[in-house]
Structures are given as structure tokens and as C-alpha cells.
Amino acid sequence: LFLTKSRINLRDMKNTNHLISMFYRAFRDLRRLQSLLAKNSPRQEVDSNNNTQHHTKAECVDILITDPTNHLTLLPICVITYRDQRCFSSHPLHELFSHILVSLIKNRLCSEWIEHAPPESVLRVLICLRLLIRDPHYQKILHELQGISLLARYMESVTALYMSCGEQAFATQKLVTMTYIFQKLSATQDQRVWVIESGAHRVSDNFVLRLKTVTVPKNKAQNHSHSDRQYITDRSSIEALSSANATGRIQREHMREELSPQEVVDNTIALQSACCTALTEMSLDDTSAHHIVQENGIYIIAKLIIPCDSGQTITSLQCYAFRALRFLFSVERNRHLFKRLFPTDLFELFIDVGHYVRDLAAYEGLQTKVSLYTKEELDNLRGGIETVDQNRPPLRVISGYSVLDHLGTGAFGSVFKVQKQSGQNILALKEVNLHNPAFGKDKKSRDSNVEKIISELTIIKEQMTHPNIVKYYRTFLEGDKLYIVMELIEGVPLAEHFNSLKEKQQQFTEERLWNIFIQMSLALRYLHKEKRIVHRDLTPNNIMLGEKDKVTITDFGLAKQKEENSKLTSVVGTILYSCPEIVKNEPYGEKADIWALGCILYQMATLQPPFYSSNMLSLASKIVEADYEPIEEGTFSERVIDMIKWCLNPDPDLRPDIIAVSSRISDLMMKLMDGLYTSQNSLERKAERDRKRAQKFFLERDKIRVTCSYSNMSQVNSDL
């Protein structure tokens, strides 16, 4: 028993001595590192670095490891030894760690040392700095010593050098390490203001944007072979730059660092908040806002407003999500979706925020309202969110067409987004209620009018093919409903652009105005002169603007094909855009569409219709006399004003036809055609390059197959 106890005591004594020895070595190494960092002599390091350039790589490693006076040796040892340490302020050697951090900031980061030191030395300092600021207390020290702003300034200089001169020694690793440091600092809500004040976020955004503008065209132009993909991504990757010395070992350990579960959650929430902010800014452009909605953006963002934790970061994320949704709601076209999304009480608060309000504090009331919801109310909110999911099962099926969404309702019926069950194409389906009084009061007149409409639509469907006119595919009857299948136009009605610009207190530029007007003129020339069709209901609601303001004229439900030199007599269309002949119930022709074209041009210039009154008699009088408010001087050229005056001539004989209108803007049309031909030639050249690349690929593949077959046959013959 005595011998056993003696062995145990001896073992404990050895363990204690071992721990004391380890502690002493750690203390000695850290003290030595502190004393070396206290010196501010970049020139010595440059000379030392130059002296090692004549040695082999292995000799350089030996020199670094065996040189105790070089802090390049001790920094890697420190990083590797304490790579699992997260709270340095509670470590037994916390005073030494604190002194080392202060020395790194004052004598390396905040001095001229960083401008003259070798890139490898700077990288090791940054990696050690990143290790130490895992501790929240040390993050505050970095801020108090102005280290964050100086680090942001150095990051800006490295970024500028990288973009102007390309890859420099260790530049990639330095940028990655500094990005991780700022990411760590941004993980806490209260500390994000430090990063914002330093300007690091602007440096990162500019770098990413410039990098994408350089690499994306390059990626598209390069051959998509494996070797080329390696070159495009980064021929000198981080691992390739990490050599067999201590820097390489640090970098690999550094890149494999695992975040704590809470850090993962915080980083995810920060990323989601940043995405919401980006989508918010994109929503200022109506076309971008439409794309966000088309890609199921409302559903994805709305899921973020459901509370899943009471933490401050979750609360902040909900406000970011509400703001993104409110910006999307400001686009009039999207508003019908939100009526299904929110319950009445929340919807009222949502509307009261106002359009395009960036201040997050304005959305705290919405977040508070949701946080106080009962379980039943939260379930109802979740149900509303699910109704806007574009990937949900079809609402119903109509004659083989799956109804995906309800796009809107007009005077004669509703329009749905549909997909043919036997195909993948997305189409628009217009549902017309035949019991509408406009089709007749009794069954006989109703059937007669419906037959005429189907006949007219059939003619239009068979005859019209123009890039600025909607494509009709088929019409059919089912029960007491008439269905019209047509092309789905991915765009926004011109009327919604008017409303959006008024809310933003903006207006059309003259270049954009003429671009839209020219496309409408091209479509009307095709209708009037080639197909002898009068639209009869040309309004901003029936003109769709797609990407890059591509115009598509829609809704030919009132269109009429007329005989040459004949006149139409039926009173149809929207009175705000109806010509004097229609208002006076006189025969009219294709110049009715010219009047409407002039009204739309006026509204593009002023964002108001030329003729408007709540009194129908007064409105009719204004139209007949062409009495409208003149356009304010200086806002647009005389050319715009003269064109409006010409198209809005109350005398149809003096009003121009579409050929005369086009001849007056022939120079603008020729300029537009030049741009189109240039774009077409560019696309043709790209298509030819792609064709040759594909042809080369298939030829080489076939050649390899033939070679392999020949080799196999030779092997068989030799075996025989």
C-alpha cells in the first residue's frame, strides 16, 4: 500500500512538473513574442527576408524555425498552440495576451511598419489578430485603439492594389483574413456601427462589384473545360500559396476553424438581413421588383417575419423583412398579393408605414404586433404566407390548363397565370363571364355577340405576328365562360409605371419616352396598314412594359378588322382615351388609335391624362374641343409638344395617320434601328462562337471514341 501511494504521488508530481514546465514554456514564448512586437523595425525584417531569398525552401523553413529573434517564428507557434482558445481574457496568461494584442495594434497595425513589412509578415500579424479578437473583450480593445478604422484603410489599399495590379504576394490571404475579422466584428448588433464608421463595408461592396464586372464576362468568354474553370476561379488559390513553411500550416488551420453554434446562427441572420436590404434597394426599380415577385420573393421574405426566437437579432431580421416587403408593396402591381398575405389588423399597420420608408424604426410596430400574436393568430399568418407560394399545387384546372395564380380582374372577367398540363410553357388565360350585360340582355343576342367575338379573335390569332403585339393561341367555351389563351407578358402595365413615378416624384426621360412611343408606332403601323385592324381600346392599362422597356400591346377584345376605306360605328373603349368621333357617336377609323396614342404620349410627359373630369358631360366637352392643360415649358422638347398637339387634333381629317406620325420621327427610329442591328450582330457572333465551340467538343469526343474502339480491337486481336 505504501509503495502504491508512493507511485501515485510520484506520478502526480511528474504531471505537476510537466504542467509547470508547459506553463513556463508558454509564458516564455509569449513574453519573447511581446518583447519582439514591442520593436517597430520593418527595415530589419525586409533585410532578413532578403537574406533568406538565396536559400532553398527547406533551408528557409529551418532558418525561420531556429531563429528565436524573429517574431515570424513565434507568431505561427502562437496561432497553432492557441487555435482552440476563444476566451483569452479568462486565460491564466491573459495579461500577456492583452499586451500582445496592444503591441500588434500599436506597433504593427497602427504604425508605418505595415507599409514597409514583407507581405508574409503582415499576413501572420493579421492571422494572429484574428485569433485574439475571438474574445469580445479584445474586440473592444481593437475599437478603442482605432484599430478597426486603420484595418479598414489597409484593406482598402490592398484591394486597390489587387484590382490595379492583379494578384500580389499573399494578397488573397490578407483580404480573406481581414474579411473574416470584419465579419466577426459585425456578428454583434451593437458593434456593427464600428464597421460602418470604418467604411469597411463600402470597400467590400466595391471590391465584389468590380470583381464581378471583370470575372463574369471573362467566365462567359472562356472555354468551359476543366482547366479553364480552374484558371477563371483562381489559378493561385489560398492552398497553393501556402507553402511548406509555418505560414502554410497556419493558413490551413486558419481556414478550417469551426464556428460555435451561436456564431453560425448570428452569421446566418446577418446574411439574411443583408439579403433583405439588397432586395429592398432593388425594389426601387419596378422591373427588378417584378422579377423578385416572379421568383417567389414575397413568399421567401415573408417567412422571415414569423418569430422563432425572442433574441434581438431575430427582432432586427423581422424589421428588415417587413421593410423589403413594404418596398415591394409600393409597386402597385404587387399589392393584390398582400391582401392574401396579411390579416386585416396587420395589413392596416403595414399600409400606414408609407411608401419607400428606409428607417427600420418605422417597422418596429409591425414586429411588435406579430410578436404578441397568439398561436392561433400565428397559424393564420402562416396560412396567408402559404397562399402566395408560387410552388404550391394548382388552384384548379380549366380544360387542361393548371391555374397557378390570379393576375387580376377587369370589366369583362379575370386573368390567370396558367400552365398546360401536358407541357412546361407558362401562359395567360383570360376568363370572360358571358352573363355580363355588355354581351346582350337575352340569350339570343348574347350568343350572337359571343360568336362575333370568337370570330374576331380567331382572325387576330391567325393573322398577327409582331414583336410588340401579344400572341393569341386559342379560344374555347366552357359552361357560361369564354376562355382566351394568350402569351403571358412578363412586365408591368404602363399605367402602373405612371403611378410608381408619381409616388417616387420622378418622371420619364425624353429618351425613354421616345423609345416607348416608337415601339407603339411600329405596332400600330402593322395593325393599321398590314392587317387593317383598329385596336379601339388603346390605353396605358393595355400597354405592357417588359425588360428594357419592351412594349407589348395587349387586350384585343374590342379590336375590329375593317374593310378598306370603311368606317366603324360602335361605341367602345375607355372614354378617357376616346377620340371626338367616338364621343359624338360618329363613324371613325384607324385615327381613333392615333388620338389614343397622343393621349398616352401626353400622359408619359405629365403623368396625368390630358382629359379628365368627374363630370361626364364636362369630360366629353373637353375631348370634343381638345381642351387640355399645356405641358410646362422646359420639361420636354418642342418636338414632344408638337407631336402631342398633332395627334390630339379634334378634326380627324387633319389628324395624321400612323405613317405620317412615323415619318416625323424617322431619325429617332433610324437611331433605334442602329442600336438593334448592333445588338443583333453581337448576338449572332456570340451564337457562332458557341456553335463552333460545341462542334469542336463533339468532334473531339467522337475522335476519342474512335481511338478507344481501335485500341480495344487491337487488344482483342493481340489476345487472339
Q: Same structural domain for residues 129 and 243?
A: yes
Whether residue 675 lies inside any domain: the answer is no
Half-sphere exposure of 233 (CA within 13 A, CB side): 9
Domain of residue 157, residue span: 29-258
pLDDT value of residue 131: 86
CA distance 296 to 404: 12
CA distance 535 to 412: 17
Whether residue 705 lies inside any domain: the answer is no
Q: Same structural domain for residues 293 and 431?
A: no
Whether residue 145 lies inside any domain: the answer is yes
Whether residue 181 lies inside any domain: the answer is yes
Mean pLDDT of 526-548: 87
CA 369 to chain centre: 29
pLDDT value of residue 150: 86
Out of 209, 228, 258, a domain closes at: 258
Whether residue 711 lies inside any domain: the answer is no
Whether residue 688 lies inside any domain: the answer is no
CA distance 63 to 73: 9
How many domains is the chain partitioned into structurally? 4
Q: Same structural domain for residues 195 and 76?
A: yes
Mean pLDDT of 192-212: 71
Spell out a b/e string for 535-545, using b for 16 or more CB atoms within 10 Å of the CB, else e: bbbbbbbbbbb
157: cell is 489599399
Out of 423, 457, 487, a domain closes at: 487
Q: What confidence category does residue 336 fall into, taking pLDDT thresholds of 50, 70 and 90?
A: confident
pLDDT at 36 over 90: no
276: cell is 433583405
CA distance 248 to 250: 5
Are residues 284 and 331 in contact, defined by beta-carbon separation less than 8 angstroms?
A: no
Q: Same structural domain for residues 87 and 231?
A: yes
Q: Same structural domain for residues 254 and 267?
A: no
Catalytic residues: 537
Q: In CATH, what number is assigned to the domain containing residue 470?
A: 3.30.200.20
At 640-666, the pLDDT tens digits run 999 999 999 999 999 999 999 999 999
At 242-289, the pLDDT tens digits run 333 444 444 444 444 566 787 788 888 888 998 999 999 998 887 788
Q: Same structural domain for residues 326 and 340?
A: yes
Q: What confidence category does residue 611 fall into, taking pLDDT thresholds of 50, 70 and 90?
A: very high
At 81-126, the pLDDT tens digits run 787 777 888 888 878 888 888 888 888 877 778 777 888 888 888 8
Q: Same structural domain for residues 635 and 507?
A: yes
The three-state secondary structure class of 648 is coil
Angle at 545 between CA 544 and CA 548, to 5 degrees: 160
pLDDT at 325 over 80: yes
At 433-478, the pLDDT tens digits run 877 766 666 777 777 777 767 766 666 666 678 999 988 888 888 8
